[in-house]
Amino acid sequence: MHKKLFVKQASLIPPACTYHNSQFTNIHELGCETLKHPPYSPDLSSTDYHFFKHFDNFLREEIFRNKEDAVNTCVEFINSRTPDFYCNGTGTLVKRWKKCIESNGNYFD
C-alpha cells in the first residue's frame, strides 16, 4: 500500500511520510517485529504510564525558579531509579498495550 502511494502520488505525499516509510522498511529488513498500533484507549493514557506516575510523585510540591532547576530535577529523578525500574515499567506497558489491541479499544479493568 505504501509503495503504491509513493509511486502513484509521490508529488502529493509530504517528504516526512516517505522518510517514515523508509524507516519502517529498514526496521523490517533488520528482522525486528513491529506491533500494530492500538486503537485509541483511555487505558493507554500517557499520564498513567509507570514512569510518569513515579515522576509525578517525585515532583510533588517542587517549585522551579528557572529552566536549569527543572532540568536538574529531571536528571536527578532519572538517575535515582534502578535499571529494574525501567525494565518493569516497559514490561507492564507492553502487556497493557497488547491488552488494548486485543480488546479492540473497548474498556477493560
- Here the cell at position 104 is 479492540
Q: Where are the domains of the chain?
A: 44-108
- Here the cell at position 102 is 486485543
C-alpha 103/C-alpha 17 separation (Å) is 29
Question: What pLDDT is attached to residue 12?
Answer: 52
C-alpha 91/C-alpha 86 separation (Å) is 9
Q: What is the pLDDT along the chain (109 residues), one digit of tens a residue?
A: 555 545 555 555 555 544 455 555 677 777 777 766 655 655 566 556 788 889 999 999 899 999 999 999 999 999 999 999 988 888 887 887 788 778 776 776 6
Question: What pLDDT is attached to residue 44?
Answer: 60
Q: Is 104 helix (H, G, I), strand (E, B) or coil?
A: coil
Q: Look-up: residue for cell 479492540?
A: 104
